[in-house]
């Protein structure tokens, strides 16, 4: 019997977003795992000219592209759209679901349409802030309560997020963020236990509870603070576990996600579960949350990667 040649997988990572560092680590972990699983791999760092990359991609004739990018440019549907134009199979969610999930405001509109629980919020754009700053500070933000969370519409890994800052700092924080972004999202601050739930295929994985040292799971806490506790399975009741899993699976479905995702959820003592956001390309670094959930489920990293590769081929 003639042995089939190993599939050729292009792993695209890096890029120019604020999550470049995490993407490179994810990409390295993916390449190692794919090689262990018997695939042939080639790495592409999208810090390079995109036209050069796509020309190289067409010339190399890879069987599948594994998207290990994070943030704008990789997680927002743009790279997915280009790969579809080239008719190249790729891992993860498609163009529309990637774009929806990346835009936190639009994703929340979808969640609300399907009756999923979300925090109250307010969108502020640069022009409105310039023209009506004091009214926004004194009246509009007041509708969210006395504590807020300020975040970019489209960044991930908690980049640029300010959680429950002092009221005296609101104006400076919003002004600074609007220098980088055309519009931002301001949400009511809900203090609760932080959970995250991965989805693989049509099943939700075991929830993880995140206990950051200062109570805030910031970028620093995610990737550099060794005191952050990540407990999987989360120490919550079986009933709450099922509800959190159902919520993550529903979020995955209503956004039209494919193959895998990870949804962040807050558990409030009175409000119950509150959906924060869904990540269509969650981190796959050794320190990331999804690999912990896979381990608890008895799924090796190599098996997980193989599932994503086979899904990509089937979708194409």
Instruction: Verify whether residue 20 is a known catalytic residue.
Output: no
**Catalytic choice (188, 277, 293, 311):** 277
**Catalytic choice (209, 223, 259, 311):** 223
Buried b (16+ CB within 10 A) or exposed e, 204-213: bbbbbbbebe
**Catalytic choice (23, 158, 279, 288):** 279
**Catalytic choice (103, 264, 293, 311):** 264
Who contacts 79 (Cβ-Cβ below 8 Å, separation ≥6)? 12, 46, 67, 69, 73
Judge contact between 305 and 37, C-beta under 8 A.
yes
Instruction: Verify whether residue 277 is a known catalytic residue.
Output: yes
Question: Which neighbouring-strand residues pair with 197?
Answer: 263
Residues 107 and 22: their CA atoms lie apart, in Å, by 23
**Catalytic choice (33, 93, 259, 262):** 262
Instruction: Verify whether residue 293 is a known catalytic residue.
Output: no
Instruction: Verify whether residue 157 is a known catalytic residue.
Output: yes
* Burial environment of residue 46 by CB neighbours within 10 A (0 to 12, 13 to 18, 19 or more): buried
Instruction: Verify whether residue 262 is a known catalytic residue.
Output: yes
Instruction: Verify whether residue 103 is a known catalytic residue.
Output: no
Instruction: Verify whether residue 19 is a known catalytic residue.
Output: yes
**Catalytic choice (17, 97, 157, 158):** 157
CA-to-CA dists, residue 195 to 175, 242, 248, angstroms: 30, 13, 10
Least Cα distance to 205 among 307, 305, 296, 302 occurs for 296
Instruction: Verify whether residue 279 is a known catalytic residue.
Output: yes
**Catalytic choice (15, 17, 19, 219):** 19
Enumerate the active-site residues: 19, 157, 223, 262, 264, 277, 279, 283
């Amino acid at each position: 019997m003639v042995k089939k040649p190993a599939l050729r997988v292009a792993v695209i990572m890096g890029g120019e977003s604020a999550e470049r560092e995490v993407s490179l680590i994810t990409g390295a972990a993916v390449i190692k795992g794919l090689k262990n699983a018997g695939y042939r791999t080639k790495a592409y760092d999208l810090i390079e000219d995109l036209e050069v990359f796509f020309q190289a991609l067409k010339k190399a004739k890879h069987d599948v592209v594994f998207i290990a990018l994070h943030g704008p440019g990789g997680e927002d549907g743009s790279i997915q759209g280009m790969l579809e134009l080239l008719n190249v199979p790729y891992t993860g969610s498609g163009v529309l679901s990637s774009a929806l999930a990346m835009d936190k405001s639009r994703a929340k509109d979808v969640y609300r349409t399907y009756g999923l629980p979300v925090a109250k919020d307010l969108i502020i754009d640069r022009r409105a802030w310039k023209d009506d700053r004091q009214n926004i500070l004194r009246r509009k933000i007041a509708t969210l309560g006395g504590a807020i969370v300020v975040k970019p519409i489209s960044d991930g890994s908690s980049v640029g997020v300010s959680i429950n800052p002092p009221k005296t700092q609101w104006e400076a924080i919003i002004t600074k963020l609007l220098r980088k972004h055309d519009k931002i999202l301001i949400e009511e601050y809900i203090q609760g236990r932080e959970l995250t739930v991965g989805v693989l295929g049509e099943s939700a994985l075991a929830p993880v509870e995140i206990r950051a040292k200062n109570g805030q799971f910031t970028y620093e806490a995610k990737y550099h603070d060794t005191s952050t506790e990540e407990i999987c399975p989360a120490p919550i009741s079986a009933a709450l576990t099922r509800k959190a899993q159902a919520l993550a699976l529903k979020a995955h479905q209503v956004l039209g996600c494919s193959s895998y995702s990870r949804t962040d959820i807050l558990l409030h003592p009175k409000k119950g579960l509150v959906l924060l956001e869904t990540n269509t390309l969650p981190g796959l670094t050794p320190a990331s949350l999804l690999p912990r959930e896979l381990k608890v489920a008895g799924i090796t990293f190599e098996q997980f990667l193989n599932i994503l590769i086979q899904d990509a081929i089937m979708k194409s």
